[in-house]
Amino acid sequence: MPTYSYACTACDNAFDVNQKMTDDALTTCPQCEGKLRKVYGTVGVTFKGGGFYRTDSRGPSGGGDSGGSGD
């Protein structure tokens, strides 16, 4: 079950809730009855193995761009 983060626009109360994806989003703060908004965070992704642009588009080892100016 996904965890959703919410923050109140009135009292700055922030909390996480486990909800089904089919459940309606919460709209009122449990502390002050103010309006809630969903807080979106980042997700760390690591590309390992084949099948990804990041790993498949590289040239052979040692033949890549060194990051220099090229002069």
- For the cut 90, the answer to whether the pLDDT of residue 1 exceeds it is no
> Considering only CA atoms, which of 59, 46, 47, 3 is closest in space to residue 26?
3
> Does pLDDT of 62 surpass 60?
no
Q: Partners of 4 in the beta sheet?
A: 17
Indicate the domain borders of the chain: 3-38
**Spatial distance between the Cα atoms of 32 and 50, rounded to a whole number of angstroms:** 50
Q: Two tokens at 49? A: 């193995």
What was the pLDDT predicted at 55?
59
Cα–Cα distance for residue pair 30/28, rounded to 1 Å: 6
User: So what's the pLDDT on residue 11?
Assistant: 95
Q: pLDDT by residue (tens digit) across 17-53?
A: 999 999 999 999 999 999 999 999 888 887 777 777 7
Mean pLDDT across 42-65: 68
Angle at the Cα of 12 from the Cα atoms of 10 and 15, rounded to 5 degrees: 120
